[in-house]
Structure 1
Amino acid sequence: MNVMRELRRTVALRRIFGWRSERAVLWFLALGIGVLSVAPLTRLIWAAIAPDGSPDLAHVLQLIGTQKVWQATLNTLEIAVAATLLAMLAGTLAALLVGLSDMRGKQLWVFTFILPLMIPPQVIALAWVQALSPSSPLLTGVEAVCRSLGWRLTLGNGQPLYSLTGIIMLLGLHNAPLVFLTVRAGLRRLPADLVEAARITGASPLRVLFTVILPLARPAIFAGAALSFVAAAGNFGIQAMLGIPARVPTLITLVYQRLNGYGPSALPDMAVLSLLIALITFGGLALSRYLGGRRDVRVSGSLRQLKQPLGAWRLPAEWLAWLWIGMTLLLPLSALVGTSLTNGFGQTLNRQTLTFDNYTNALWQYPAIHQAFFTSLGLTLMAVVLLTLASLFLAYFLSWQRSRLVSLLQMSTELAYALPGIVTGIAAILFFLKPLPLINVSIYGTVWIILAAYLSNFLALVLRPTLAGFAQIDRSLDEAAQISGAGFMRRMWDILMPLAAPSAMAGAILVFLTALNEIQVSILLVTSSSQTLGPMVIFLDEGGSSTLAAAVGCLMILVVLLFMLIATLFARRLPEGVLPWRA
């Protein structure tokens, strides 16, 4: 009897301490998300509506009503909408070709189609600018061909991408893979029975496409459009590289230029513009959700993989698909590589001009580039470790211990991820500008404010695949361990973490690839002593070192390719669908 009583007492004590440790971890997560996400956003809103400590809506309306802000707002809306339409068209066509046809070489084609999305946008913009510069071999060759045919073609000395149309084109091409990924996932859930029934009745492939497939895929199409809209409105790299030289103001470049010109004194005005950017992105999300969900398209049926043989059209379709890759990926990247191998921008690459000096300087001669690389690598690794641990614990509570507090934490992480990175940067500056209470230390101007912004912005990116991993775990394993007296931390370490680790690692890979070369979040937070790799390309190009910037951009692409290939080698150990570039 004494033994049984002692055993029950031990089990009861373990349950009490286990419950207490669960609550302690939950409140620690709440404190971290509150400090990194909720508090900075609250500070941003208060700074916008109360710059002097008391609400002043007249100041907000006066700033928004100025000609420059009004023009920047219209440009932002026009760019985001037009680029989204272009991305919807290209991404949907690509998804239909890959998801429904018998096209050959899909795996490699999907990898190359997704690759521009993984390359930093500032590098993509630099590559396109160099590919379409007046002195580029491409335009020079086009002009020579036209002259040989007797056509008069004068391309002029201007850069065609330095325009509103150029920004729209590049953003549309850059965001097309976002639409492709969502539409491809939607096509996999289409019931084959309905399509087969339509074919049996004699409907042509085009009629089946427009009357059955596209209506059923509409929610996925508009979900991809929402992602594209948010990405286009908040893409700093392309808007800055093309819009600033073209004098096409957008809200995101206006924030960057004013903050650089006026410093912290401009923060209240920048808070208003940041909120305006956030409202535009959330408005686009709401409209896309409304358009995608106006009608119920849920159906039942077989989820077998749909295949539409292309027949005689297969070879032309494959040629067009690879021509797209050549024009949108190989052309700009070849121009970037060519520029990086010469001493001067616009030089023709030949035996006399070929040089590796730019790579030598980038790798060994410029301490600023080394510092930026190692700073980015260190921040990225710290962010990956901390976010992976946080996502494992948060996924546990979201899966099996959901409460109002837990739901609020999830909503906060999703909100921080949906906000454009530059909004997160402004919020971090406002919140961390003053010294932290108790320790009286300011992290403004240090690498720690960049890390704080990374933790806020990328938590949702790790959390989503981790939640998918927890959904595949049988809860009875945790309950059995709990009944046997195992504490919360013991259950997490011995049972749940090993089972959910592959999904969490998939999210960690995505964060690593995103954060290592990112520019959206850190562009306003970097200083001379806390430089990161992403903004380095813009700073070098603005300083007149275009060939060195091209070399750094090529090295960044090589790093992205290396880690994509490493992740592909371990793809079999990762949950299906977590690597977006795998067909």
Structure 2
Amino acid sequence: MRPPRASGAEHLLVSLLILYVAVTTLWPLARLFTSAFQPGEDGAPLGLMLSTLSSRSTLRALSGTLQTALLSVVISTLLGVALAFAVSLLKLKTRAALTFLILLPLIVPSQTMALAWIEFFGAQSPILKPLGLAPAPGSTNPLYSIGGIALVMGIEHMPLVFISVRAALRALPADLVEAARILGISPGRIGRGIVLPIVMPSVLASSLIAFTAAIGNFGVPALLGIPGRISVLTTLIYQRLNGFGPAAAGQVATLALLLALMAAIAILARNLVTTRVAVPLPAGAPFVPGKHAPFTEILLWLVVLILTLVPLAALTMTALLPAIGVTFGPDTMSLDQFRAVLNNQTIRRAFANSLLLSSVTAGICVLVAVPLAFLSVRRRNPVLRLLDIVIEAPWVVPGTVMALGMILAFLKPLPFLGVSIYGTMAILVIAYLARFLPLVLRPVAAAAQSADPSLDEAARVAGAGLIRRILSIFLPGMLPAGAAGAILVVMTALNELTLSALLWASGNETIGVMIFALQYEGNSTAAAAVAVLSTLLVLILAAIATVAARRLPKDMLPWID
């Protein structure tokens, strides 16, 4: 049966969605990429792009980006695969807790994790110094290096590999493993010869996603690379804009285009892997772990604690010190830094701004995602499919690229209004809306696929209008998925730095910007206190989402089995 023809209300709704995507995504990206194709000072075509790409600073930043990204991918892949195999193939009593801790680097903001590792490996480390393992006083932190950046980014992006490989292992047919066991094949050979080849496409695809995340990472290279004089493309863009402002738009647009090109190649390679290399599996019951390994479980806890909680413990201990250089102990620890940051008007404003930005973004994203998912399910036309692809772009391309596009698009006064939103909260809202819409759209779209279309059809036949059908019939079923997406948006946007670092202005500070600024100024204890408070906020949100998980569709939260 052919679906009914689209009504005028549906055409209007599609037009409004196109306008939304055009303002938040298409226009900024178009302005960014056209700025890179300006002629040079001598009028030569593409002269600006060629001179920027051939400069020593660009080549040095490109080399730093590739070195840190590729090395971090090796670390992410090794850790993610090993942890996914252990959690999925062994019978663990504490599987849920281990899974949450493994995913913690994905939940905790990038700059907070970087700051935690800085405090852990620093000369005044409250953990390593009492053990005599800290660097000598006055020496450079070992993390201020290519290896240090790669290590922290590798741990931060490890959950991306873990999630993908765990999903592949959970779909592994039990018959394959059982047949190998009957033939007397050892567990090691089963893992290497049967299981690993089956999940290898997921390993490759998730490694490419980790590479995309690494080349677009700003928080870690900024906190570790700038002090260590390690240049990458994201920090070079930040420094150029900070030093020269909009006058450097053409140069930084070229750098952003280079980042976007690298990300696009990685995404295309991932799609090729998932469509051409994926191994078709026979139907059957999924593999269920049957062997308990207590020693392995203890070893897993030791590794996971070192990767996640130990650095955060060092960060918390630093926040409890009254000043830099004071040795941590019962007589020196206090809450003075927490009182100081909470009494600081700028920091309080940053918390209020971040809460407002993340909440407004989450709410608007739900309002956009619900009708878009409704139309995508009811009307499978090329325009909606194209919109779906375009909406993914701000999440896939590095945040620095999107931030620069926003500057170029909204620096001049808006048509008809005659005012510029550059330097205001409005440009941050637009950037957040573009960046985080996919976090809401994906769970809502997944829930919409399983919705019963007969209810909407009955309401349409009864004469109910489009808006009434969406609000009364479609929306109630989408609320759990929309709430899950909204919580993920708030958790992610609350400590966002990559966009905010380039778009904030005085009065519009955010939590991520304050942590970066305090650490950059050398006030490590205050930065640690703000980072600990922001992490507590995120963990509270994660706890709320976990409690509400029973009302959410399956697999909406990555740390819930």
TM-score (norm 2): 0.96
Match of 1:324 in 2: 303
Match of 2:324 in 1: 345
> Retained in 2: the 8 A contact 1:48–1:60?
yes
Q: Does 1:214 pair with 2:196? A: yes
Residue 294 of structure 1: CA displacement? 4.3
Which amino acid in the other structure matches residue 401 of structure 1? R
Deviations 1:408-430 (A, max 9, x none): 11110011210111111000000
Deviations 1:150-182 (A, max 9, x none): xxx979722100000000000001111111111
Match of 2:32 in 1: 44
> Retained in 2: the 8 A contact 1:193–1:301?
no
> Retained in 2: the 8 A contact 1:69–1:251?
yes
Q: Which range is displaced more, 44-53 or 73-82?
A: 44-53
Deviations 1:385-443 (A, max 9, x none): 11001001111121120211111111100112101111110000000000110111110
Match of 2:128 in 1: 139
Q: Does 1:496 pair with 2:480? A: no
Residue 137 of structure 1: CA displacement? 3.6
Residue 18 of structure 1: CA displacement? 8.0
Residue 308 of structure 1: CA displacement? 4.8
Distance in 2 (CA, whole Å) between partners of 1:294 and 1:495 is 39
Which amino acid in the other structure matches residue 144 of structure 2? Y
- Secondary structure of the corresponding residue to residue 30 of structure 1: helix
Deviations 1:476-535 (A, max 9, x none): 111111111111111111111101111111111111110111111111000112111111
1:354 to 325, 333, 339: 333
1:35 to 19, 23, 27: 23
Match of 2:216 in 1: 234
1:565 to 524, 530, 543: 543
Match of 1:336 in 2: 315
Match of 1:129 in 2: 118
CA 409–73 in structure 1, closer or farther in 2 if over 3 Å, else same: same
- Secondary structure of the corresponding residue to residue 321 of structure 2: coil
Residue 286 of structure 1: CA displacement? 2.5
Quote the RMSD (CA, aligned, Å): 2.0
Q: Percent identity?
A: 39
CA 292–374 in structure 1, closer or farther in 2 if over 3 Å, else same: same
Which amino acid in the other structure matches residue 421 of structure 1? G
Q: Which range is displaced more, 57-66 or 384-393?
A: 57-66
Higher gyration radius (CA)? 1
Q: Does 1:273 pair with 2:255? A: yes
Deviations 1:260-279 (A, max 9, x none): 01111111111100011111
Match of 2:445 in 1: 467
Distance in 1 (CA, whole Å) between partners of 2:543 and 2:52 is 48
> Retained in 2: the 8 A contact 1:219–1:293?
no
Distance in 1 (CA, whole Å) between partners of 2:453 and 2:146 is 53
Distance in 2 (CA, whole Å) between partners of 1:462 and 1:292 is 23
Q: Does 1:526 pair with 2:507? A: no
Aligned residue pairs total 558
> Retained in 1: the 8 A contact 2:31–2:405?
yes
Distance in 2 (CA, whole Å) between partners of 1:32 and 1:52 is 34
Distance in 1 (CA, whole Å) between partners of 2:473 and 2:482 is 14
Residue 581 of structure 1: CA displacement? 1.5
Alignment map for 1:278-427 (pairs within 5 Å): 278-310=260-292, 314-363=293-342, 365-427=343-405
CA 493–155 in structure 1, closer or farther in 2 if over 3 Å, else same: same
Residue 379 of structure 1: CA displacement? 1.2
Q: Does 1:202 pair with 2:180? A: no
Residue 291 of structure 1: CA displacement? 4.3
Residue 296 of structure 1: CA displacement? 4.5
Match of 1:58 in 2: 47
Distance in 1 (CA, whole Å) between partners of 2:276 and 2:193 is 17
- Secondary structure of the corresponding residue to residue 272 of structure 1: helix
Deviations 1:183-208 (A, max 9, x none): 11111222222222222222211111
Q: Does 1:247 pair with 2:229? A: yes
Structure 1 stretches of 4+ with a deviation exceeding 4 A read 15-18, 51-55, 153-156, 291-294
Residue 301 of structure 1: CA displacement? 2.0
1:21 to 9, 31, 41: 9
- Secondary structure of the corresponding residue to residue 256 of structure 1: helix
Match of 1:77 in 2: 66
> Retained in 2: the 8 A contact 1:218–1:292?
no
> Retained in 2: the 8 A contact 1:399–1:470?
yes
Distance in 1 (CA, whole Å) between partners of 2:285 and 2:133 is 53
1:166 to 148, 159, 164: 148
Q: Which range is displaced more, 227-236 or 239-248?
A: 227-236
2:238 to 256, 270, 295: 256
Distance in 1 (CA, whole Å) between partners of 2:516 and 2:37 is 32
> Retained in 2: the 8 A contact 1:29–1:390?
yes
Distance in 2 (CA, whole Å) between partners of 1:77 and 1:144 is 31
- Secondary structure of the corresponding residue to residue 246 of structure 1: coil
> Retained in 2: the 8 A contact 1:337–1:554?
yes
Alignment map for 1:184-195 (pairs within 5 Å): 184-195=166-177
